[in-house]
Structure 1
Amino acid sequence: MNDMAQLIEPLIPALRRYARALMRDRSAADDLVQDGLERAIGRWHQRRADGNARSWLFAIVHNLALNRIRQSSRRGRHLPPEDADAVGSVPPAQEHGLQHRDLLRALESLPEEQRSVVLLVSVEDLSYVEVAEVLKIPIGTVMSRLSRGRERLRQAMEGVAKAEPVGASHLRRVK
């Protein structure tokens, strides 16, 4: 039991950051982490002893988040009462605040599979191997999703409206 606490406790801040980025709502993210930790503790005996506890915990939180995102897409968006007054608020005028907002919007516009890889590698500092374990995908897929995700973020931050699909033709018909 003591080993479990020593492995889990230092990971909680990173799990909360990842959950907040996925859920885009502080209280939903905290609930997600709580449920993920509860599931990890309840199923600690199922964890591979030689496995990476960090990857295992991120995988649990990731899978729970996917389930909740799917569930909420069926139900529709919920706006908690405490956030209702923020709907009509004015965005900050400071450059940093605007860049931060733009980056968050660019992250939100990424497909979920790219967003997850970008967050796990760039924010949570997981290795490509760890990300592959968490998401249960090949390492090559991790690298290609990361590359495409970073490129879309770069284009969004530079003001490119939408990234052209790979292989899109820039040819036009000449009469």
Structure 2
Amino acid sequence: MSEEQPSQKKKNQFTIMKDDSTDGHGGYGVGSISLENISPVIIDPAEDRAFVDMGAMHARSEVERRVKFLPDKEAVPNGKLYWIVWVTVEKKDSGSYYHGVAGSEIRVDRSIKRAYKSMPEHVNHMDKSMKGQVIVDHMDEHSKKLLGDFLRDFNKEMWENSADELKQALPE
């Protein structure tokens, strides 16, 4: 008997999470925020890469695993910089577009199994992304270029349909 090996290559994709809390059941979660159109894009400027990692929705992305997060950046002085960029996708008559984009910093030092992340910042940036805001000014230029290239390459039509504010914040 031969078993098929699952593909080792991960596909970059924006996952739509279905969690409609207003479907009429009246139970837990009614009136809460829906996260169905948001995806976390991880920017790794040291390795020149950007990728979607849905594990970040629950602090379980590739870069967040097997480390203890601390709220003090000074406690991780040699941490490697990553950005988790919360990207919200919406639809309008002309098609889907990047509605909101907000980057949140994390620093990871694997040698001491410690990392820095400001949970309030991540929650606020996720919320602002869902509200259509673009928050990337605090990111370094190289990381912004990686993000812009990723979004353009991922779906040119969604990029074209996006607001000028996003295109100006992430120039080519």
State which structure, 1 or 2, has the greater radius of gyration over its C-alpha atoms: 1
Bigger strand share? 2
Bigger helix share? 1
TM-score, normalising length: structure 1: 0.29
